[in-house]
Amino acid sequence: MKEFKVRVNGTKEYLYGAYGLKCNPFPQVAKHEYSKLNSVLMELEKPIKDKEHLLKILKGGNKEFVELCLRYYEPGKVTEFIIKLPE
């Protein structure tokens, strides 16, 4: 199983803003089959205004993943959880 750390950014700040970056420059896994997941994970690390904005980011995604992200979203906080996918 491959593990991915999911960060849901409910703050108004970019997580890597102190370094002059708007996103993490290092993907968790640099394999083509995970490219869409990596782009979603990077979007979730950017400031998320509200749950409607979060749903827009996750539109068309796996239902269970969307529900997890909604459950972990907290305005003003960065929350984390781990997902496991078969390799």
Phi/psi for 68 (5° steps) reads: -60, -45
User: Total domain count for the chain?
Assistant: 1
Domain of residue 17: give its range. 2-85
Long-range contacts, stretch 79-82, CB < 8 angstroms, 24+ apart: 79/7, 79/8, 79/10, 80/5, 80/6, 80/7, 80/8, 81/5, 81/6, 82/3, 82/4, 82/5, 82/6
pLDDT band at 86 (very low <50, low <70, confident <90, very high): confident
In this prediction, residues 78-82 reach a mean pLDDT of 97
List pLDDT tens digits, range 5-59.
Answer: 999 999 999 988 889 988 888 777 767 777 888 889 999 999 999 999 999 999 9
Q: How far is CA 59 from CA 25, 52, 67, in A?
A: 23, 10, 12
What pLDDT score does 81 carry? 96
Confidence at residue 13, expressed as pLDDT on a 0 to 100 scale = 93
